[in-house]
């Protein structure tokens, strides 16, 4: 039986070392990414989970800015690389759909280019799980490649893989997250360029309190993982 989660785990286990060599340990030379992440730093006031942390670059960036952050990733080898490259930070193995976190205790969750591996049928459940671990008023930051296509990757970073990648429509993502209890705060967009061949988007959202209904908030200025 096909197990998409197992395929994602195997793919990132396979590419962990070449991926780490290519992307480096930090976000040097990536001003758009730093600007988006620094917006999250500005609103957190407690513990943060970097969900789908990969090799720990974003975890390390948040930590360097004084954030109490720990990372979780599906791939044991990505977690091992993160521990090696960012000693002193906490990294654990885990699944976006079943986070090992108590209800409503986190100030923020970062989901940085990890929703691109979540099948459409599973996105509502993952969104609900991200909402579960956040306190009311807490923030969620998601980033992804923009589009509507699906790609089954068979190679990456010089290694053979078997991996589903989805480009995501920001309005559809907002709809899924609204249903899970999130209101939009800020949106950043970046067009395709020499380094990124697809448009990119990032969304900062706030988890509604139980007594709140409907969506509030606005849009902000316009400005990975194994994407297409």
Average pLDDT for the chain: 90
Q: Is 41 exposed, middle or buried (0-12, 13-18, 19+ CB in 10 A)?
A: middle
The pLDDT of residue 214: 53
Answer yes or no: are the C-beta atoms of 37 and 64 closer than 8 Å: no
pLDDT tens digits, one per residue of 47-103: 999 999 999 999 999 999 999 999 999 999 999 999 999 999 999 999 999 999 999
pLDDT in tens, 1-53: 568 899 999 999 999 999 898 888 899 889 999 999 999 999 999 999 999 99
- pLDDT of res. 217: 41
- In this predicted structure, what is the pLDDT of residue 213? 60
pTM: 0.90
- Cα–Cα separations (whole angstroms), residue 167 to 59, 135, 171: 23, 29, 12
Q: Say what the pLDDT of residue 128 is.
A: 98
Residue 142 phi, psi dihedral angles, 5° rounding: -120, 145
Least confident of 91-100, 138-147, 195-204: 195-204
Task: Tell me the pLDDT tens digit for each residue of 151-187.
Answer: 888 878 788 888 889 999 999 999 999 999 999 999 9
List beta partners, residue 208. none
Which residue ranges form the domains of the chain, and what is each CATH number? 4-207 (3.40.50.150)
């Amino acid at each position: 039986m096909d197990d998409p989660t197992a395929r994602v785990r195997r793919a990132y286990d396979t590419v962990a070392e070449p991926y780490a060599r290519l992307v480096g340990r930090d976000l040097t030379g990536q001003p758009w990414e730093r600007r988006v992440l620094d917006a999250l730093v500005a609103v957190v006031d407690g513990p943060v989970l970097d969900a789908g942390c990969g090799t720990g670059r974003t975890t390390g960036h948040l930590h360097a800015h004084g954030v109490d952050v720990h990372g979780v990733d599906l791939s044991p080898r990505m977690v091992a690389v993160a521990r090696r490259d960012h000693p002193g930070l906490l990294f654990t193995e885990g699944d976006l759909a079943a986070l090992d976190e108590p209800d409503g205790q986190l100030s923020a969750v970062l989901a940085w280019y990890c929703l691109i591996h979540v099948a459409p049928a599973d996105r509502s459940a993952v969104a609900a799980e991200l909402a579960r671990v956040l306190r009311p008023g807490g923030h969620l930051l998601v980033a992804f490649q923009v589009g509507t296509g699906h790609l089954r990757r068979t190679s990456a970073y010089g290694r053979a893989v078997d991996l589903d990648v989805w480009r995501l429509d920001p309005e559809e993502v907002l709809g899924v997250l609204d249903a899970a209890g999130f209101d939009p705060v800020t949106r950043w967009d970046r067009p395709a360029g020499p380094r990124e061949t697809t448009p990119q988007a990032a969304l900062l959202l706030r988890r509604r309190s139980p007594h709140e209904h409907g969506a509030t908030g606005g849009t902000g200025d316009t400005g990975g993982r194994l994407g297409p």
